[in-house]
Amino acid sequence: MKIKILVLTIFYLIVSFNLSNAANSEKVDQISKNLRCLICQGQSVYDSQSDFALSMKILIQNKIDEGKNDEQIYDFLKSKYGEWIVYDPEINKNTVLLWVLPLILFVFGGILILRKVSIK
Partner 1 sequence: MVKNIKLIAVVFLVIVSFFILLKGLNKTNNYSPNLNSSNIDFNFKAKFLYSNEETTLYELINDKDFSLINIWASWCLPCRDEHPYLLNLNSLGKFNIIGINYKDSEVNAKKFIKELGNPYSKIVVDPSGVNSIELGAYGVPETILINNNSKTILKKYIGPLDDKKLAELKMIIKNEN
- Residue ranges that bind partner 1, judged by CB under 8 A: 38-39, 51-52, 54-56, 58-59, 62, 79-82, 84, 97, 101, 108, 112, 115-116, 119
CA distance from start to end of the chain: 84
Q: Quote the least distance from Cβ 108 to partner 1, whole Å.
A: 7
The minimum distance between CB 67 and partner 1, in angstroms, equals 16
Q: Which is nearer to partner 1, 1 or 119 (CB)?
A: 119
Spatial contact of 83 and 90, defined as CB atoms under 8 Å apart: yes
CB of 84 vs partner 1, minimal distance in Å = 5
Angstrom distance (rounded) from CA 21 to CA 18: 5
State how far Cα 36 lies from the chain centre.
Answer: 10
Residue with Cβ nearer partner 1 (12 or 108)? 108
Nearer to partner 1, 11 or 108 (CB): 108
Residue 105 identity (one-letter amino acid):
L
